[in-house]
């Protein structure tokens, strides 16, 4: 049921009445839609009454008491009201629908109303999507349905959905449409589906329809809690039995070695991250435990043991080769997590900017001096190697004057070294000449670039990725959003882990150029863990606002949610503050004014 002011289902981002609904050939369809909308609105306005209303209010209070810790009261009441009016007390809907069928004079409306007498609760899983449509299969059955997809609906296979639906014969016999408050769950959907199946199996001698009716509140509660759950809260469902056993053994051994709570937390997170990245079923527990302890000692987390590698291998009864293999992988992962701003430690401070992260210089030197790490053809000449070191020193310089001197020396030493070209481009006053320097840096860096599952981990790849990111920022500042979007989206596709944070620049660029569907796809991809990410929440609001011309009912709530995470952005928006230059390198504390200025830069398009 698409209202005239709803986003058009074709995916254009425009209102229905200004898109497909404006075509003369669909005039009758538009009238039918409006009449059906009036039928639904009339039902909510007239019902329930008397004792039925008292019963619904009692149910609403029960739902609010159960769900208010994690869900806004108005949303709880909306979901509870729909459940009562269409499912629990379906008699009211049947009476009202019969009245409407007698009054309507359009057969096209009546044919839909006759199908509407069978509302039901859909608990399903997205299996596929096509333009304007998503396919959904029942969790506890084999039936498949087609759901009209409005702007903002997720499309990723595996996403769960739950809510009241009506059949929609205007499309196909399998077509359905949500009444209003359909809930989607992309995060932890696999684990949530497992929990739903376990709950269903615990109830015997009951039809699926009756089970959902009796456990609707439980299902809503599960969806809401899972949408806010952290990795630690679900680790027992995410990891395999062998991984869980190894994780508990690691915790136990670290306790026996008298390690601090902070050391236990860091090593626990590192182990979980390793299991999720490697996903090994053939885990050699003794080798892994020995390697984890040695890695913890090497990185300075595990302290005061007095153990050498040989002692550790003997303690765990491990094999030397197996331990060394795990050490290499754990050490590499830890360095990557530290460099990318991922969370092996409790701090949530994250880094932005066009400059390399401070740790990169040491990683680069190690990769260039360690045999077998970098192929000979990818190693720079002596002159270019010195130029690269000068460039790193320029990036780390404490003053602008020192930065310029070192940058000039780097360019003289290696005129084709990408970072030397980037340092020159950043002070070039002519935008066209600066663009030429960025393009030359990308071209030179591409000669040693090697694609892979995570190219960021391959240290010689970073100048290429940095050059592309810096060029994208240059184009963004110039207002060339389409070109900037192409570069940033390519970086996100190239490195799905997005260690550079290019997803936010990509989404901002796509919004400013009006490519809302592409922006929404990126947002859905990085939805997990975003509930405390101010940049994500403000961009999500911006996307909803722009894609619906400000007419979406969700924008106000989305903006309030974002403001709770970082309220400084609201002040910058209110006073239309001047945007800052894009940072070269900056550590941002979530919720800080500095973070707000970065977000405002993205929202305002660098203007």
Pairing of strands 175-178, 144-148: parallel
Q: What is the pLDDT of residue 399?
A: 93
Does the N-terminal peptide bond of residue 48 adopt cis geometry, omega within 30 degrees of 0? yes
The answer to which of 181-190, 335-344, 402-411 has the lowest mean pLDDT is: 335-344
- The 10 Å CB-count burial string (b at 16+, else e) for 424-457 is bbbeeeeeeebbebbebbbebbeebbeeeeebbb
Q: Which helix (H) or strand (E) holds 126?
A: strand 120-130
CATH code at 47-87+119-228: 2.40.50.140
Task: Give percent of the chain with pLDDT exceeding 90.
Answer: 47
Average pLDDT over residues 149-178: 81
| pLDDT of 3 over the 70 cut | no
pLDDT at site 17: 44
Q: What is the pLDDT of residues 519-558, one digit of tens each?
A: 999 999 888 778 889 999 999 999 999 999 888 888 888 9
With bands split at pLDDT 50, 70 and 90, how would you rate the model's confidence at 231? Answer: low
Q: Which residues, listed in sequence order, are joined to residue 586 by a DSSP beta bridge?
A: 352
Which token pair is 488? 């940033």
CATH architecture of 350-380+448-604: Alpha Horseshoe (1.25)
Q: Delimit the CATH 1.10.472 region(s) of the chain.
A: 236-339
In the 8-state DSSP scheme, what is residue 411?
H
Average pLDDT, whole number, for the chain? 84
Q: What is the mean predicted confidence (pLDDT) over 350-356?
A: 91
Q: What's the whole-number mean pLDDT along residues 148-163?
A: 78
Give the pair of three-digit tokens for residue 515. 């490519």
pLDDT exceeds cutoff 80 at 259:
yes
The H-or-E segment that residue 587 falls in is strand 586-588
User: Average pLDDT of 403-423?
Assistant: 95
How far apart are the C-alpha atoms of 250 and 245, rounded to whole Å? 9
Q: Convert the pLDDT of each residue in 92-130 to its tens digit.
A: 999 999 999 999 888 888 888 999 998 999 999 999 988
Helix (H) or strand (E) holding 462: helix 462-477
Q: What's the mean pLDDT in 1-12?
A: 46
Answer with the residue of higher pLDDT: 538 or 70: 538
Q: What is the Cα–Cα distance from 237 to 226, expressed in whole angstroms?
A: 12
**pLDDT value of position 370:** 47
- Cα–Cα distances in angstroms (integers) from residue 509 to residues 160, 363, 481, 484, 504, in the given order: 30, 31, 5, 6, 8
**Reported confidence tier of residue 444, pLDDT bands at 50, 70, 90:** very high
pLDDT score for 593: 85
Which residues make Cβ contacts (< 8 Å) with residue 310, sequence separation at least 6? none
- Give 554-605 pLDDT, tens digit per residue: 888 899 899 888 888 887 887 677 888 999 999 888 888 889 999 999 999 8
**Confidence check: pLDDT of 373 > 70:** no
Q: Where does the chain hold its CATH 2.40.50.140 domain(s)?
A: 47-87+119-228
Range(s) for CATH 1.25.40.10 in the chain? Answer: 350-380+448-604
Tens-digit pLDDT profile for residues 460-504:
899 999 999 999 999 999 999 999 999 999 999 988 888 898 999
Q: What is the DSSP letter of 16?
A: G
Q: Does domain 236-339 have CATH number 1.10.472?
A: yes
**Residue 546 burial class via C-beta count within 10 angstroms: exposed 0-12, middle 13-18, buried 19 and up:** middle
Which residues, listed in sequence order, are joined to residue 274 by a DSSP beta bridge? none
């Amino acid at each position: 049921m698409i209202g005239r002011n709803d986003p058009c289902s074709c995916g254009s981002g425009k209102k229905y009445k200004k898109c497909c609904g404006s075509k003369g050939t669909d005039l009758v369809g538009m009238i039918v839609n409006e009449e059906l909308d009036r039928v639904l609105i009339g039902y909510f306005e007239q019902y329930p009454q008397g004792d039925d209303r008292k019963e619904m209010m009692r149910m609403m209070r029960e739902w609010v008491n159960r769900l208010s810790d994690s869900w806004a009261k108005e949303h709880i009441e909306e979901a509870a009201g729909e459940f009562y009016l269409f499912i629990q007390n379906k008699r009211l809907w049947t009476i009202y629908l019969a009245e409407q069928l007698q009054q309507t004079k359009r057969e096209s409306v009546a044919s839909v109303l006759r199908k509407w007498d069978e509302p039901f609760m859909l608990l399903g899983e997205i299996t596929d999507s096509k333009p304007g449509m998503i396919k959904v299969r029942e969790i506890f059955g084999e039936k498949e349905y087609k759901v009209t997809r409005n702007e903002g609906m997720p499309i990723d296979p595996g996403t769960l959905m739950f809510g009241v639906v009506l059949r929609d014969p205007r499309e196909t016999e399998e077509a359905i449409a949500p009444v209003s408050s359909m809930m989607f769950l992309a995060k932890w959907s696999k684990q949530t589906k497992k929990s739903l199946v376990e709950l269903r199996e615990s109830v015997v001698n009951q039809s699926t329809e009756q089970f959902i009716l009796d456990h609707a509140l439980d299902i809503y509660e599960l969806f809401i809690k899972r949408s806010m759950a952290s990795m630690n809260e679900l680790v027992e469902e995410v990891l395999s039995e062998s991984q869980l056993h190894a994780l508990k053994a690691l915790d136990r051994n670290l306790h026996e070695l008298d390690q601090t709570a902070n050391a236990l937390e860091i090593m626990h997170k590192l182990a979980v991250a390793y299991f999720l990245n490697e996903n090994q079923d053939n885990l050699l527990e003794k080798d892994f435990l020995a390697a984890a302890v040695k890695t913890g000692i090497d990185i300075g987390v595990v302290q005061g043991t007095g153990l050498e590698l040989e002692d550790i291998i003997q303690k765990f009864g491990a094999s030397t080769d197996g331990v060394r293999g795990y050490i290499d992988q754990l050490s590499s992962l830890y360095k990557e997590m530290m460099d990318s701003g991922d969370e092996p430690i409790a701090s949530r401070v994250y880094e932005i900017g066009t400059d390399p992260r401070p740790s990169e210089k040491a990683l680069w030197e190690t990769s260039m001096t360690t045999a077998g790490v970098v192929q000979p053809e990818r190693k720079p000449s002596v002159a270019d190697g010195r130029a690269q070191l000068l460039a790193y020193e320029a990036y780390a310089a404490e003053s602008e004057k020192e930065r310029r001197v070192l940058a000039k020396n780097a360019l003289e030493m290696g005129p084709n070294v990408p970072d030397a070209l980037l340092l020159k481009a950043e002070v070039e006053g002519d935008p066209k000449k600066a663009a030429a320097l960025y393009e030359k840096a990308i071209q030179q860096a591409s000669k040693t670039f090697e694609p892979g599952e995570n190219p960021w981990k391959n240290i010689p790849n970073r100048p290429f990725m940095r050059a592309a990111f810096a060029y994208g920022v240059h184009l963004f500042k110039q207002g060339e959003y389409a070109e900037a979007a192409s570069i940033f989206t390519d970086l996100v596709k190239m490195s799905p882990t997005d260690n550079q944070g290019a997803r936010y620049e990509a989404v901002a660029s796509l919004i400013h150029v009006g490519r809302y569907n592409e922006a929404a796809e990126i947002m859905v991809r990085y939805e997990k863990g975003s509930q405390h990410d101010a940049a994500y929440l403000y961009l999500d609001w911006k996307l909803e606002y722009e894609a619906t011309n400000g007419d979406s009912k969700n924008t106000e709530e989305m903006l309030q949610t974002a403001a709770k995470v970082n309220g400084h952005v609201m002040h910058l928006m209110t006073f239309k503050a001047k945007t800052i230059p894009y940072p070269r390198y900056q550590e941002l504390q979530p919720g800080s004014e500095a973070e707000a200025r970065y977000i405002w830069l993205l929202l305002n398009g660098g203007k």
